[in-house]
């Protein structure tokens, strides 16, 4: 649960916080130290744990600091700009800012940004971006103007995306907002126009952003009190074009728009945002933490002395100006089991899985984010659709795409397809089907053409089914493309049993080497895959035992019946005879739907040596999405039914049959015990009911024997 802890104040003696608040609070190179710059002449270095300043520097009387001081994480020096153009660099030992390094620039600086892992980046008021080192090499270099006249920078932020600094800044001109994404290293700049829907009339009061692999999520707090989210791709598809991005409502009415000192918004983590402002119901200002996933208010704290409408979040501390003093509120968000459970629930939306398996490995799916990352996949796809491609073609996009499919190169098709999928079209189902048939058609004509990525993308739209594109799986079977087959098995609701069987055959017969190369979704054997690298298979056994424990019982009976065979007991602990890749594939088969009557004849065709292998495998495949016990047992039964005579004959199958027999026996004994005590339970229940019915006074009949 997200929680705000007790606040504490940093001594404010040295600061002169004006009515507009502070110029900025930036992180220093030590974790709990912050550089606080006021709107006058002073920079103070605070240590939060000590609640007191470590150092303070001022510029001369008459000078004015114009952008907040930052720490250069690579050198440990501090950088500040005063009087718009004068750059100062100093370190902890320096006392007087007048005597430290000085560089006068040719253009006015808007802000210096510094994050860990890169040099500080300067953003000029005209929109140009320079790294500090490049600038210091030639301070008087010419700075180009990027922004048009009257365009003012409203908000900026620097991110590290895959170790590359990306600067995003938002400008405003005549009530229109523009988003610029500047890749600092490659100097590519892309501009987006921020399209605002129904909230056009309101004024955006605060921005915040977080980066999520490929997208920057910009959140804005409007004067109508709502939070909107805009997704902007980090790597623009077409850097030259002016694209448009649409903002969508994320949270409704979190604050009243008419706060005297403004409102502020900051992203805390993937699910939480902090909002500073006065809530609709109260007049006092409040810091509140909202869960954007569930749209709930998690916690809030009143700030009766008023704030400057500024909020910073570094590490685990929220900093703000409360009254005249700088206040720190630590924020903690511990993983709660409810969130974990809800995160897991998303899995059940995947087709092909009807119920949660009874023996879920809670530790594996809760603690680390791997499961939930996967869960987000569909959401991201949905959001991607919100980005509108600005060039509106005259022909319907699907037609256009079909023609590209027939002619263009694989790369181009892929790109076009991505654009197409991002836009919602009315006849989506049919068009996707057409596209697949188109792709397959070209495949047949041109054997070298293999649009795998496109197909994967199309399958993942969740709208395809086997009957919509019957050729797809046939082609995959022909090419023994196990990854595609697995995807199909997971996504398609209507695979004929013959194809399922064909898949099974492929999965069992394919060589381990080619399996290693294939990119297989290992989620269903996630747990197993982890442990298989260490010692062979030890952990998964426990997981299975949550559902049933044939091992324990067989061990016991082994010991009782054949005391002379110690190696038997060792053999009773099942080890998975197949690689995790193959196990994942087999799990996909187990999860797929089938009808016994139709499946049985096809199963008879499976070669004998594969049967034992598959049966052994089915018993030992745990993971996040392990098949249910019933699914496993049904498959084992079917396999045995289909190939009973063969299985009985093969010597390798003997042990398997024995263990199966023991398992069934133990199950029967458990059930018979349960049956025996059922009567007692019923009696107990009856007794309980009687006890509750009794009043304060009764006359009863008692007979003593």
Strands 188-195 and 243-251, bridge-based pairing? parallel
Q: Where are the beta strands (DSSP E) in 458-529?
A: none
Residue closer to other proteins (CB basis): 222 or 298: 298
Choose, by CB under 8 A, the member of 394, 395, 564, 701 that binds other proteins: 701
Measured CA to CA, the distance from residue 506 to residue 519 in angstroms comes to: 16
Nearer to other proteins, 99 or 694 (CB): 694
The nearer residue to other proteins, 1 or 648, going by C-beta atoms, is 1
Using CB under 8 A, which of the segments 102-110, 411-419, 630-638, 688-696 binds other proteins?
Answer: 688-696
Q: In the bound complex, what is the minimum distance in angstroms from residue 338's beta carbon to other proteins?
A: 7
Q: Which of 447, 511, 651, 695 binds other proteins (CB under 8 A)?
A: 695
Please spell the DSSP secondary structure of 43-99, one letter per residue. EEEEETTTTEEEEEEEPPTT--EEEEEEE-TTT--EEEEETTTEEEEE-TT---GGG
- Write out the two tokens for 265: 């918004």
Least distance (Å) between residue 337 CB and other proteins: 7
Query: What's the min distance (Å) between Cβ of 525 and other proteins?
Result: 30
Nearest to 65 by CA among 34, 45, 95, 87: 87
Residue 120: how many CB atoms within 10 A of its CB? 25
- Give the separation between CA 357 and CA 215, rounded to whole angstroms: 34
Of 280-339, binders to other proteins (CB under 8 A) are 336-338
HSE (CB half, 13 Å, CA atoms) of 263? 34
Stretch that binds other proteins, among 125-133, 178-186, 267-275, 694-702 (CB under 8 A): 694-702
Nearest-approach distance from CB 375 to other proteins, in angstroms: 21
Does position 445 bind other proteins by CB under 8 A? no
State which residue, 298 or 327, has the beta carbon closest to other proteins: 298
Side by side, the strands of the sheet bearing 109-113 are 109-113, 121-124, 129-131
Q: Is 680 in the site for other proteins (CB under 8 A)?
A: no
Nearer CB in complex with other proteins: 395/701? 701
In the complex with other proteins, which residue's Cβ is closer, 3 or 64? 3
Instruction: Return the number of the residue (348 or 688) whose C-beta is nearest other proteins.
Output: 688
Q: Which stretch binds other proteins (CB under 8 A): 164-172, 275-283, 494-502, 692-700?
A: 692-700
Quickly list H helices, 306-393: 337-345, 362-367, 370-375, 377-384
Residue 46 pairs in a beta bridge with: 34, 53
Residue closer to other proteins (CB basis): 394 or 702: 702
Q: Which residues pair with 152 in a beta bridge?
A: 172
Half-sphere exposure at residue 260, Cβ-oriented, CA atoms within 13 angstroms: 8
Choose which of 93, 142, 535, 700 interacts with other proteins (CB under 8 A).
700
Nearest residue (CB) to other proteins, 341 versus 668: 341
**Count of residues near other proteins by CB under 8 A:** 16
679 binds other proteins (CB under 8 A): no
Task: Single out the segment in contact with other proteins by CB under 8 A; choices: 31-39, 609-617, 650-658, 690-698.
Answer: 690-698
Whichever of 335 and 670 has its CB closer to other proteins, that residue is 335
**671: three-class secondary structure by DSSP:** helix
Report the nearest approach of other proteins to the CB of residue 340 (Å): 11
H or E segment at 517? helix 512-517
Is beta strand 243-251 parallel, antiparallel or unpaired with respect to 264-267? unpaired
Q: How far is the CB of 526 from other proteins (least distance, A)?
A: 25
Q: How many CB atoms lie within 10 A of CB 662?
A: 20
Among 1, 134, 160, 345, binds other proteins (CB under 8 A): 1
For the chain, the C-alpha Rg in angstroms (whole number) is 33
Residue from 137, 355, 679, 704 in contact with other proteins (CB under 8 A): 704
Taking CB under 8 A as the criterion, the residue among 174, 513, 533, 705 binding other proteins is 705
Q: Which residue has the tokens 């190169």?
A: 409
Taking the least distance from each CB to other proteins, the nearer of 395 and 704 is 704
Nearer to other proteins, 142 or 700 (CB): 700
CA atoms within 13 A on the CB side of 82: 23
Cβ atoms of 300 and 278 within 8 Å: the answer is no
If binding is defined by CB under 8 A, does position 447 make contact with other proteins? no
Rounded Cα distance, 657 and 645, in Å: 12
Whole-angstrom distance, CA of residue 498 vs CA of residue 287: 61
For residue 2, the minimal CB distance to other proteins (Å) is 11
DSSP assignment of 395-451 equals: S-HHHHHHHHHHHS-HHHHHHHHHHHHHS--TTHHHHHHHHHHHHHHHHHH-TT---
Q: In this chain, which stretch among 41-49, 357-365, 550-558, 696-704 interacts with other proteins, using CB under 8 A?
A: 696-704
Among 137, 394, 445, 696, binds other proteins (CB under 8 A): 696
Residue numbers 336-395 binding other proteins by CB under 8 A: 336-338
The residues of the shown chain that bind other proteins, judged by CB under 8 A, are: 1, 336-338, 694-705
């Amino acid at each position: 649960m997200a929680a705000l802890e007790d606040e504490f104040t940093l001594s404010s003696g040295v600061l002169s916080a004006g009515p507009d608040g502070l110029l900025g609070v930036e992180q220093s190179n030590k974790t709990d130290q912050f550089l606080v710059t006021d709107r006058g002449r002073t920079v103070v270095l605070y240590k939060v744990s000590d609640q007191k300043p470590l150092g303070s520097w001022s510029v001369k009387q008459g000078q004015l600091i114009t952008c907040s001081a930052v720490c250069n994480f690579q050198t440990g020096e501090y950088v500040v700009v005063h009087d718009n153009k004068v750059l100062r660099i100093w370190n902890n030992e320096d006392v007087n800012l007048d005597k430290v390094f000085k560089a006068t620039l040719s253009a006015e600086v808007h802000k210096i940004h510094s994050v860990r892992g890169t040099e500080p980046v300067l953003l000029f008021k005209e929109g140009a971006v320079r790294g500090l080192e490049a600038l210091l090499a030639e301070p008087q270099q010419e700075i180009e103007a990027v922004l048009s006249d009257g365009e003012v920078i409203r908000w900026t932020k620097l991110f590290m995306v895959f170790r590359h600094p990306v600067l995003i800044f938002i400008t405003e001109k005549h009530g229109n907002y523009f988003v610029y994404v500047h890749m600092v290293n490659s100097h590519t700049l892309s501009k987006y126009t921020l399209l605002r829907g129904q909230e056009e009339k309101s004024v955006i009061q605060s921005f915040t952003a977080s980066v999520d692999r490929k997208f920057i999520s910009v959140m804005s707090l409007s004067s109508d009190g709502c939070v909107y989210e805009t997704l902007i791709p980090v790597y623009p598809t077409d850097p030259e074009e002016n694209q448009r991005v649409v903002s969508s409502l994320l949270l409704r009415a979190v604050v009243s728009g008419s706060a005297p000192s403004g409102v502020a918004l900051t992203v805390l983590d993937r699910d939480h945002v902090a909002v500073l402002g006065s809530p609709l119901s109260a007049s006092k200002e409040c810091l509140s933490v909202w869960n954007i996933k569930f749209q709930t208010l998690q916690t809030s704290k009143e700030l009766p002395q008023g704030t400057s409408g500024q909020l910073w979040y570094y590490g685990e501390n929220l900093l703000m100006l409360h009254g005249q003093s700088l206040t720190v509120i630590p924020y903690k968000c511990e993983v709660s089991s409810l969130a974990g459970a809800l995160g897991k629930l998303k899995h059940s939306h995947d087709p092909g899985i009807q119920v949660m398996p009874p023996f879920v490995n809670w530790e594996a799916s809760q603690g680390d984010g791997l499961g939930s990352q996967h869960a987000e996949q569909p959401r991201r796809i949905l959001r991607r659709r919100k980005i509108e491609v600005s060039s509106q073609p005259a022909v319907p996009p699907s037609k256009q795409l079909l023609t590209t499919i027939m002619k263009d190169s694989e790369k181009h098709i892929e790109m076009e397809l991505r654009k197409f999928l991002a836009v919602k079209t009315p006849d989506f189902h049919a068009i996707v089907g057409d596209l697949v048939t188109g792709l397959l058609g070209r495949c047949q004509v041109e054997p070298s053409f293999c649009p795998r990525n496109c197909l994967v993308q199309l399958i993942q739209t969740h709208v395809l089914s086997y009957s919509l594109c019957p050729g797809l799986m046939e082609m995959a079977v022909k090419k023994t493309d196990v990854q595609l087959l697995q995807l199909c098995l997971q996504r398609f609701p209507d695979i004929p049993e013959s194809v399922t069987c064909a898949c099974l055959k492929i999965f069992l017969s394919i060589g381990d080497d080619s399996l290693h190369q294939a990119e297989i979704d290992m989620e269903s054997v996630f747990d197993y895959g982890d442990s298989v690298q260490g010692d062979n298979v030890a952990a998964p056994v426990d997981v299975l035992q949550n559902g049933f424990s044939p091992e324990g019982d067989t061990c016991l009976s082994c010991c009782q019946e054949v005391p002379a065979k110690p190696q038997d007991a060792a053999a009773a602990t099942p080890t998975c005879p197949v690689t995790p890749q193959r196990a994942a594939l087999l799990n996909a088969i187990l999860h797929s739907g089938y009808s016994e009557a139709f499946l049985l004849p096809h199963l008879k065709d499976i070669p004998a040596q594969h049967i034992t292998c598959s049966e052994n495998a089915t018993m030992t495949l745990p993971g996040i999405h392990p098949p249910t016990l019933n699914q496993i047992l049904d498959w084992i039964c079917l396999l045995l039914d289909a190939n009973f005579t063969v299985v009985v004959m093969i010597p390798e199958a003997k042990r398997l049959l024995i263990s199966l027999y023991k398992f069934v026996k133990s199950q029967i004994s458990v059930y018979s015990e349960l049956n025996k005590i059922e009567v007692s339970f019923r009696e107990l229940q009856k007794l309980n009911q009687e006890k509750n019915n009794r009043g304060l006074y009764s006359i009863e009949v008692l007979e003593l024997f």
